[in-house]
Amino acid sequence: MERGIPCGTCGVMNELHERLCRACGAPVGGGISLPPASSSMVRAGLVIRHGGLQWRWVLLGTLVTLGICGIAAAATVAVAASATLRGVAEDEGAAESLLVTAGCGFLLGFFLGGVLVGRMSKGRTIVEPGLSAVLAALVLLGLAGVLDRGLTPLLCATPVLALLSLVGAWLGEKWQGAQDPSGS
């Protein structure tokens, strides 16, 4: 007979020392488990798991996303400075390629932020990367306003950035499950 604590939410057997279910993140231990959330609350996004929203993963995802976006911005500035020094900055194609490079760097930042949070956090953490993407987008919106570059492009891109972060989180969850097949 297998010894462990069953999760009251998903039914996965957990080790006796674990406080959270390794599959769904719900609290386990001492034979006490919380009742499952209603489907209407889950659909509304109010309750994702019984452990509640983990703000540390929101903060970490925001910092990772902003860090990668900062690296992308710095790389774009370095390439632009190099192009200016070489005298190729007058070429219209060079300016467009710099914008494409910067845009790809920002998209990659949001995607990788979601992947890392999804992979590193225990349990199912899909909402945290979405919130971190929105927070990072708000910070970038603030910077865009300060730099007087216009808010419209980033404001329109915010849903796409959040979606990229959510897709990254989903892939991070899959990666986490592949590393720990007993947790699925």
**Residue for token pair 């972060």:** 165
Flag the least confident range among 41-45, 58-62, 145-149, 152-156. 41-45
Give me the phi and psi of 175, to 5 degrees please.
-65, -45
* Residue 48 predicted with pLDDT over 50: no
Compute the residue count for the chain.
184
pLDDT tier, 51 (very low <50, low <70, confident <90, very high otherwise): low
State pLDDT tens for residues 119-160: 887 777 778 888 888 898 888 877 766 556 566 766 677 788
| For the chain, counts of helices (H) and of strands (E) | 5, 2
98 compared with 135, residue with greater pLDDT: 135
Average pLDDT, the chain: 75
Here the tokens at position 170 are 């989903």
- pTM for this prediction: 0.60
| 171, 178, 117, 68: CA torsion to nearest 10 | -70
pLDDT at 63: 92
